Amino acid sequence: MKKKYLPLLLIALMYGCIGNDYLMDEVEPELRISASLDTIAINSSFQFEATYLNNVGQEETVPLNWESSQNGIINIDENGLATATNTGQSTISVTYESPEQVYADSVTVVVGETSVVIEDDRSGSINTTSSYVLTGDFTIEENGSGIVVTFANNYQASSSLPGLYLYLSNNPNSIANAHEVGMVDVYIGAHQYNISEVGINEYNYLLYYCKPFNVKVGHGEIE
């Protein structure tokens, strides 16, 4: 009898092998200029930088092509180093030609007496993508070499998720290559996160994720 029913038990045991779950994590690739320069001082230089995020939101080093629409006003070399030579304004463009598509970003810069870098605050709203409560507005501002994420009074998150973590990510569905801010310990009301060594334009999403079980709870696009 043992022989007869042993296969059933073995099948049940083997069913416990680790398999694969697949995460739909594709996003639209993008190329973006990191610094928001409004005005460059005449006869000075500014180093532009650009970041290419691939189809999973991961930063990737790619060959970039820098151009200035008005070379007599602002010259820019192949490494993104811009030099203002005359008053006026010029559009600085960066492009990356992948085998499938051309990605581009641009910024219009004025040549003036002093350089002005725009320090725009960013903001957005988080929303649940699950059955767990997650809602609220937030702002992000620079603070030295880091940023401060401030949630408004209307913030609320479910306390039924013991492993709820906050991430900064460039992919709204994945924490791969994301910056882990930490475990959530405030579930209602205004609060702040001070995050060091992160640029204000470095990430596009706040992502709430249940880390132990790899379940997304919700996200907010940083606008």
Partner 1 sequence: MVKSNKMNWKSILLIAGIISIASPLFAGGPWPQARGNGYFKLYQWWTVFDQHYTDTGELDPNVTTGVFNTSLYAEYGLTDRFTGILNAPLFSRNYMNNLISSTTGETLVEGEAINSIGDIDLGIKYGLTKPGSKFPVAATLILGIPSGQTAGGSQENLQTGDGEFNQFIRVDAGTSFKIGKQTNAYTSLYTGFNNRGNDFSEEVRFGLEAGAGLLNSKLWLIGRLDVVESLKNGATAATVNSTSIFANNTEFSSYSLEAAYYITPKIGVSASVAAAFRGEIIAAAPSYSVGVFLDLKK
Determine, following the binding rule CB under 8 A, whether residue 7 of this chain makes contact with partner 1: no
Binding mask 203-222 for partner 1 (x = CB under 8 A): -------xxxxxx-------
Q: Are strands 134-143 and 122-128 parallel, antiparallel or unpaired?
A: antiparallel
Binding mask 160-189 for partner 1 (x = CB under 8 A): xxxxx---------xxx------x-x-x--
Instruction: Residue 151: count other Cβ atoms within 10 Å of its Cβ.
Output: 23
Whether the Cβ atoms of residue 168 and residue 203 lie closer than 8 Å to each other? yes
Binding segment for partner 1 (CB under 8 A), chosen from 17-25, 64-72, 90-98, 139-147, is: 17-25
Query: Nearest approach, Cβ of 176 to partner 1 (angstroms)?
Result: 5
Binding mask 100-119 for partner 1 (x = CB under 8 A): --------------------
Whether the Cβ atoms of residue 193 and residue 98 lie closer than 8 Å to each other? no
Handedness of CA 130, 131, 135, 140 (dihedral sign): negative
Quote the tokens at residue 47.
Answer: 């180093």
Q: Exposed, middle or buried: residue 170 (CB in 10 Å: 0-12, 13-18, 19+)?
A: buried
Query: Nearest approach, Cβ of 104 to partner 1 (angstroms)?
Result: 22
Query: Nearest approach, Cβ of 146 to partner 1 (angstroms)?
Result: 25
Query: Nearest approach, Cβ of 89 to partner 1 (angstroms)?
Result: 40
Q: How far apart are CA 26 and CA 33, in angstroms?
A: 22
Return the residues of window 125-144 that contact partner 1 according to CB under 8 A: 130-132
Quote the tokens at residue 158.
Answer: 């479910």
Interacting residues toward partner 1 by CB under 8 A: 1, 5, 8-9, 12-13, 15-26, 55-56, 130-132, 158-164, 174-176, 183, 185, 187, 210-215
